[in-house]
Amino acid sequence: MFTAELLERWLGAHACGWPGEKLAKPWPPSIAKLLNAYGQALSVSDNEVDVMLMLQKLAFALQKNGTPCAAELKQNIIGWLKEEGVVPPATINAFSLDAPNHTLSALELKQSTDLHQTAASSERAEIARLRSSEIKANGRKLAEAAIALRHKIRWLERGQEAFLGVSTEAHPKSGRGVNQFALWLQGMDLDGLPEVRMNCWESVFYTACKANLMSRGVARGLFGDASNQGQIAMGEDSRLGLARNRPPSDIQAKSISAYEVYITKMYRYLKGDEAVNIKRGEDRPKKGDLVFVDGMSHVCICVGKKPVTQGKDFAPYLMSLWHHDDERYTLLTFDDLLDECRGTISIRPCPF
């Protein structure tokens, strides 16, 4: 059950120092009643993060636009919760949000002597224009499927040859054997295997298929086209030499070049050419967004936010298949990725 005291504590913890915090302080008793009116659709245990994010947006909106009437604020709160995937019951329409006895105006807040002038930036238009209600819904499905696959996939360290369907076991620095994403596309069931390996790009398509955002047949067609382009770039003689597991240096070079052709196709299928370079310290991905590192060096999926153990911020979490966590498909924070990668980071809302 939501209480005014609980909301006040969350507001203080996650909007502390914001100008809108004082404007929001009179509202928790009324908002708690509204949240409890959701019934089973909203709970403290399952939706803690969703409500915390709503309180952050409340504080920012009040500071930016002033205090609206209770009916308008109710609709804003419902809308903010919908953005996090919380669907209101039909009975919520009959609920009336009580206005508190006194609310600070924006002018009163501005005149407060202990006001901390902090700013919160809204999402830039370049990223926001790529979002729609359908993209947001599909992004939530993609994130849920990614979380369900946590630790069930391992990174194929080097896939230059793997997309050709050739075993890489005998090649130094070539990974851990045949690309099992390619075998899965051919009909092989990967569930229950002790180890499943693919690269980060393929993991995104595999996750999308598990989320029912793409059929295996469509993925097979895209993969086949990218693989064919890579094979053409490599040439038949080089492919035969590679299959014999004794590639000379020139074949290795063609292998890398062919892999770049293959990855470029995958990048475009994921609409990476529409991704927007982030401004560090300002832009953050949302649930279901794809995050690209240094163009085509790496791709991962944002699976949403949850409170960090310390501090007063929310950390977007990513599901990433790379060298992290013993090469497993694993969770890491967006901040960890920023610390580790000093190149460009770009964001593209769910492309499926």
Computed over every residue of the chain, the mean pLDDT equals 78
- Rounded mean pLDDT, 313-332: 85
Q: Residue 341: which domain range?
A: 276-348
Residues 101 and 157 in one domain: no
Residues 173 and 250 in one domain: yes
Tens digit of each residue's pLDDT (9 = 90 or more) over 17-49: 555 677 788 888 889 999 999 988 888 878 887
In a domain, 133, yes or no: no
- Rounded mean pLDDT, 254-281: 83
Tens digit of each residue's pLDDT (9 = 90 or more) over 270-282: 999 889 988 877 7
Last residue of a domain, one of 205, 238, 271: 271
In a domain, 126, yes or no: no
Residues 291 and 209 in one domain: no
Work out how many domains the chain is built from and give that number. Answer: 3
Q: How far apart are CA 45 and CA 35, in angstroms?
A: 13
Give the pLDDT confidence score for residue 121 in this predicted structure. 42
- Rounded mean pLDDT, 181-190: 85
Which has the higher per-residue pLDDT, 324 or 234?
324
Which segment of 112-126, 130-144, 215-229, 300-314 scores lowest on mean pLDDT? 112-126
In a domain, 252, yes or no: yes
Residues 267 and 280 in one domain: no
pLDDT band at 251 (very low <50, low <70, confident <90, very high): low
Residues 280 and 267 in one domain: no
| Contacts of the segment 83-86: beta carbons below 8 A, 24+ positions apart | 83/136, 84/47, 84/49, 84/50, 84/53, 84/54, 84/287, 85/50, 85/140, 85/287, 86/38, 86/41, 86/42, 86/47, 86/50
Give the pLDDT confidence score for residue 117 in this predicted structure. 32
In a domain, 203, yes or no: yes
Residues 263 and 313 in one domain: no
Last residue of a domain, one of 271, 291, 320: 271
- Rounded mean pLDDT, 324-348: 87
- What is the three-class DSSP state of 329? strand
Give the pLDDT confidence score for residue 173 in this predicted structure. 41
Residues 213 and 298 in one domain: no
Is pLDDT of 11 > 90?
no
For the chain, give the percent of residues with pLDDT over 90: 21
Give the pLDDT confidence score for residue 15 in this predicted structure. 54
Which has the higher per-residue pLDDT, 68 or 331?
331
Last residue of a domain, one of 271, 299, 324: 271
Residues 116 and 161 in one domain: no
Is pLDDT of 332 > 80?
yes
- What is the three-class DSSP state of 330? strand
Tens digit of each residue's pLDDT (9 = 90 or more) over 194-249: 778 888 999 999 999 999 999 999 999 988 888 888 778 777 776 666 666 555 55
- What is the three-class DSSP state of 274? helix
In a domain, 237, yes or no: yes
Give the pLDDT confidence score for residue 13 in this predicted structure. 64
Which has the higher per-residue pLDDT, 315 or 220?
220
Residues 145 and 239 in one domain: yes
Residues 242 and 313 in one domain: no
Is pLDDT of 188 > 90?
no
CA atoms within 13 A on the CB side of 229: 14
For the chain, give the percent of residues with pLDDT over 70: 76
- Rounded mean pLDDT, 112-118: 32
Residues 230 and 160 in one domain: yes
Residues 94 and 110 in one domain: yes
In a domain, 249, yes or no: yes
Altogether, the residues listed in the chain come to a count of 352
- Rounded mean pLDDT, 58-86: 83
Give the pLDDT confidence score for residue 108 in this predicted structure. 40
In a domain, 135, yes or no: no
In a domain, 72, yes or no: yes
Which has the higher per-residue pLDDT, 340 or 120?
340
Is pLDDT of 171 > 60?
no
Q: How far apart are CA 352 and CA 208, in angstroms?
A: 8
Which has the higher per-residue pLDDT, 111 or 268?
268
pLDDT band at 113 (very low <50, low <70, confident <90, very high): very low
